[in-house]
A and B are shown apart, each in its own frame.
Chain A
Amino acid sequence: MNTTGFERGEINGIRVHVMPTTRFKTFAVSLYMGVPLAEDTVTPTALIPFILRRGTETYPETTSFREALENMYGAGFGFDVYKKGDYQMVQLRMDTINDSFVASDEPLLSRSLAFLGETVTRPVLENNRFRDKYVQAERENVRKRMEAVIDDKIRYAAERCIQEMCKDEPYRLSALGKMDVLDQLDGASIYEQYQQWLSNSSMDLYIVGDTTLDEVMQLVSRHFQVNRSAPVMYTPAVPRPAAPEVRQVVEEMAVSQGKLNMGLRTPITYSDERYAAALVANGVLGGFPHSKLFMNVREKESLAYYVGSRFDPYKGITTIQSGIELQNFDKALEIIRQQLDNLQAGDISESEISQTKALIRNDLLESRDSAYQMIAYDFNGLFSDKERSVDELLTAIEHITADEIQAASSVLQLDTIYFLTGQKEA
């Protein structure tokens, strides 16, 4: 008996994690495949899931691939490519309803795993390479996605801030890769990268629903035939110190609202003993509507509609983001820095602490209602090589003191200030 609720197995170098439960009307399936984020592989790796979802041996045409999903009572199928620590993650998800609600000839879980297994391991090929038509279309698709970052100014400012801050690390790269190498990639080179990825990535398959580990292991052995030996472990990122001097970057664009973003370094990551204290510290600073940033920048000064902070414990970075009137840059920056100074000086009230603890506790308890959130929580521990159950974290948070919050805050170092501002009249 373990405390996480997941039962574990291993087959073909794939780690399998199953939570048998009847609480949901669905089976949730999530496959994580991670590789170190690297300049020369980031772009072809990003293209892989885009090509895989175009067709398989059984369903070579995209329309038939998608019809097959609809026939499974509209099974949800999705994928995502993102950065986590110093890894590039490809995640594929399926979400199928439990058969007991509908009349189905073959169990939907077995059909889902067959479908996902085939999608990942038996893509449609032509002359031993990915189908050219799909490669060309998806290259264009990825190019457009890269370009479209500019459409969402909030996201654009966040990505630019990270790019500037991590300009000497692989982490500066977009999870989608590099625009200038897209054209050099073809069905052969991406297929080669795909084979590497299939053999060498860290591979974790999660299932939550009305099933058993035995049943899932049989299905995985049948449907995920891959040439892998042992599972590949993740190596947690080593946090970096901040630049010796704070960098300030200002960029102009035709916008009516300015976006002020800040990047800070922290040595505290998920596996650190101070992790719980750092979570609370971020909550006090800007995680919630009662936090220092929201209360002061928005409620007291009416400077912003959105303002908050985010703690990334896989990379050791905290970011602050806000949308402000263009001419309020100096004022907003001063007030935000003041909040940070107050936090680091230990100017933290009892109610800020208790409210933050209560909301983090609520978030953790609520995550048990969502199959995907339980999966994500478990995977975070695995990724960081640190087993810490929800209950353990709840207890740790309860006992955090004001001094510990201050200590976890005092190690935050401001690194980069990024401001997206309007264009000056010519």
Chain B
Amino acid sequence: MESIRYDRLQETLYHEKLDNGLEIYVLPKEGFQKTYATFATRYGSVDNHFQVEGQEEIQVPDGIAHFLEHKMFEEPDGVDVFSKFSAKGASANAFTSFDQTVYLFSATEQIEDNLNTLLDYVQNPYFTKENVDKEKGIIGQEIQMYNDNPDWRVYYGLIEAMYQKHPVRIDIAGTIESISEITKDTLYSCYNTFYHPSNMMLFVVGGVNPEQVIEQVRRNQAAKNYEPQGQINRYFEQEPAAVGEKWKEIKLPVSQPKFLMGFKETADGLTGEALQRKNLVTKLMLDLLLGNSTALYQQLYDEDLISDDFGYDYTGTSEYAYSMIGGDTRDPKLLVQRLQEEIGKIVETGFSQEAFDRSLRKRIGNYLRLLNSPESIAHEFTRNRFKDSDFFAILLIYESLTLEDVNQRLRDHMNWDQLAVSVVVSP
């Protein structure tokens, strides 16, 4: 077990990598009642075409990572996993994203039992034809629920508009048609590939003793005799640089149009701290450009083109990278036009040092506030670690950023040829 001290944050992190490849991290939080644990696999909706070293290459139906997440709650003894956690006072859940699947619980008592339950159910798949078919009805309703949700539709609409080939464009839950192709055998193939401990990470945060937690996990894993597994190769079709559709429209009943636009970037292959730094600079740049204290935000608000739900975000991985900007608006076309005019002017002048200092302060404050939340710590740490970066290094990176970094990023990112727009309007 090694310990990593972060003096500025007054936090100490404990780490061990087990022989079977599982990475364990424990962050003790003194005075906290709650323990929050996540057991995550580096496997999400984009991983639909892959091969384990020395084995066959396979392609699987859309939505299978999410389907698998649902099916993990089924156990051979017929005991419902949620009930098992409930009996020990733990609240359990799971979620699937583009590139990871996370199983979690939070509890204040019986942590040892709950931790064993978490490790054991995720490492004990039980798929049958009957339980796979049954799930299709439930996930079908989940898909329908999202189909009726205009915020989700405008969000996915933008990704679909930007990406022509890369599987990021596939809805995480798949479609009613694609999940109908899922069988217990395809589930086992995915499970055996991606749920090997060498592809997984356990994070435990709360009022725990790190040595005890790690020792417990060592014992739990030692009893399971995992064979070593070769490297997993993931295949993604070559994504063209250009967006697929410049303007994508979906019809659903809404009170006023939902609008999102984004700039698609060419994947530049950055990883680790360089990628993390680029992501932080880009988010800071968007704050300076469009945050609710900026002149531009206020101007658009005064023109009745945006309201409180206006927002923006940036997603940057080594495979795909894009910004998203938008909200509800009375006139999507006019809003794009106004954004293009005003952003153009700001790209010419750049941001001021004063605005930079203020926005950086805000970002640092937000980051420190995240550290009150065990959930945020666990999710953010795991997400970063899977991309070879360190969530706890963010304060130091922020403090090393300069005005020129942000101005440069502004000029690079605002490439109007790379713009895609997604709108949801009433039929």
Q: What is the interface of chain A, defined by CB distance below 8 A to chain B? A: 23-26, 62-63, 66-67, 69-76, 95-97, 101-102, 133, 137, 140-141, 144-145, 147-154, 253-257, 288-290, 294-295, 298-299, 302-306, 323-325, 351, 354-356, 358-359, 361-363, 365-366, 368-369, 371
Contact = CB atoms under 8 A, between A and B. Distances in A.
B369 A151 contact: no
Contacts of A256: 144, 147-148
Contacts of B80: 290, 295, 299
A74 B91 contact: no
B33 A66 contact: no
B363 A74 contact: yes
B150 A63 contact: no
Contact of A302 (B138, B293, B361, B364): B138
A359 B91 contact: yes
Contacts of A140: 304
A151 B92 CA distance: 29
B256 A147 contact: yes
A153 B253 CA distance: 10
Nearest to A420: B148
12 contacts: A73-B368, A96-B365, A101-B9, A144-B255, A148-B255, A150-B254, A150-B255, A153-B148, A255-B148, A290-B86, A325-B140, A362-B91
Interface residues of B, number: 67
Given A97-B369, A102-B364, A141-B307, 18 more contacts: A25-B371, A66-B292, A69-B293, A74-B363, A74-B364, A96-B365, A101-B8, A144-B328, A147-B255, A151-B255, A254-B253, A256-B144, A295-B80, A358-B89, A361-B109, A362-B91, A362-B107, A368-B33
A362 B89 contact: yes
Interface in B267-309: 292-295, 298, 301-302, 304, 307-308
Contacts of A299: 80, 138
Contacts of A255: 148, 253
Interface of B: 8-9, 31-34, 80, 82-83, 86-92, 106-109, 134-142, 144-145, 147-151, 252-256, 258, 292-295, 298, 301-302, 304, 307-308, 328, 358-359, 361-366, 368-369, 371-372, 374, 427
Contacts, number: 178
Chain A to chain B: the 10 pairs with minimum beta-carbon distance, closest first? A74-B362, A302-B137, A73-B365, A74-B365, A66-B293, A355-B86, A358-B89, A147-B255, A289-B82, A365-B108
Given A141-B308, A148-B328, A95 B369 contact: yes
A306 B368 contact: no
Given A147-B256, A148-B328, A305 B108 contact: no
Contacts of A150: 253-255
Contact of A356 (B8, B86, B293, B301): B86
A249 B332 CA distance: 36
A323 B144 CA distance: 9
Contacts of A23: 31-32
Instruction: Give the most central of B140, B141, B145, B364: most A CB within 10 Å.
Output: B141
Given A25-B368, A63-B295, A290-B82, A304 B141 contact: yes
A47 to B, nearest CB: 14
Nearest to B32: A369
Nearest to B301: A137
A78 to B, nearest CB: 10
Contacts of B293: 63, 66-67, 69-70
A73 B362 contact: yes
Contacts of B82: 288-290, 294
Contacts of B292: 66
A67 B31 CA distance: 34
A144 B109 contact: no
A358 B80 CA distance: 16
B151 A151 contact: yes
A73 B372 CA distance: 15
Nearest to B90: A362
A232 to B, nearest CB: 30
B372 A306 contact: no
A53 B349 CA distance: 30
Contacts of A306: 141, 145
A151 B148 CA distance: 9
Instruction: Give the most central of B80, B109, B365, B372: most A CB within 10 Å.
Output: B365
Contact of B427 (A145, A254, A288): A254
A350 B140 CA distance: 33
B33 A369 contact: yes
A209 B83 CA distance: 36
Nearest to A289: B82
Contacts of B295: 63
A363 B33 contact: no
Contacts of B33: 365-366, 368-369
B392 to A, nearest CB: 14
A70 to B, nearest CB: 4
A152 B33 CA distance: 35
B298 A358 contact: no
Contacts of A288: 82, 86, 91
Contacts of A75: 365
Nearest to B105: A362
B253 A366 contact: no
Given A63-B298, A299-B80, A74 B366 contact: yes
A305 to B, nearest CB: 4
Nearest to B31: A23
Contact of B137 (A147, A153, A303, A363): A303
A210 to B, nearest CB: 13
Nearest to A146: B255
Given A295-B80, A351-B83, A71 B106 contact: no
Contact of B253 (A72, A154, A253): A253
Given A73-B362, A76-B369, A102-B364, A366 B106 contact: yes
B365 A323 contact: no
A71 B358 contact: yes
A58 B142 CA distance: 49
Contacts of B136: 302
A302 B301 contact: no
A316 B47 CA distance: 48
B372 A63 contact: no
A369 B86 contact: no
B256 A26 contact: no
Nearest to B137: A302
A26 B367 CA distance: 12
Contacts of A152: 149, 151
B304 A137 contact: yes
A253 B86 CA distance: 38
A110 B141 CA distance: 50
A249 to B, nearest CB: 19
